Amino acid sequence: MIRLRFFPLCAALALCAGAARADTYGFVDGDRVSVIISDTPPADSRYLLFKKNPPVAFTAVEPGPYSGHIVAAARETSIDPALIHAVITVESGYNPSARSSAGAVGLMQLMPETAKRYGVKNRLDPGQNIQGGARYLRDLKIMFGDNLQLVLAAYNAGEQAVVKHGMRIPPYAETVAYVPKVLQLYRNYRPAD
Q: Is the pTM of this model over 0.75?
A: no
Verify that 86 and 111 share a domain, yes or no. yes
CA 127, CA 66: separation in Å to the nearest integer?
A: 8
Verify that 156 and 185 share a domain, yes or no. yes
Verify that 8 and 99 share a domain, yes or no. no
- Of 51, 75, 91, the residue at which a domain comes to its end is 51
- Domain around 19: 2-51
Verify that 25 and 76 share a domain, yes or no. no
pLDDT in tens, the chain (193 residues): 433 333 344 444 433 333 334 556 666 666 555 655 555 676 777 767 665 544 333 334 446 779 999 999 999 998 999 999 999 999 999 999 999 999 999 999 999 999 999 999 999 999 999 999 999 999 999 999 889 999 999 999 999 999 999 999 999 999 999 999 999 999 998 876 5
Respond yes or no: is residue 174 known to be catalytic.
Answer: no
The neighbouring-strand residues paired with 24 are 37, 51
Is position 60 within any domain?
no
Q: Looking at 76, 91, 113, 159, which residue is catalytic? A: 91
Verify that 32 and 111 share a domain, yes or no. no
Verify that 24 and 99 share a domain, yes or no. no
Verify that 37 and 127 share a domain, yes or no. no
Residue 138 CB contacts under 8 Å (≥ 6 apart), including other chains:
77, 78, 79
Verify that 92 and 147 share a domain, yes or no. yes
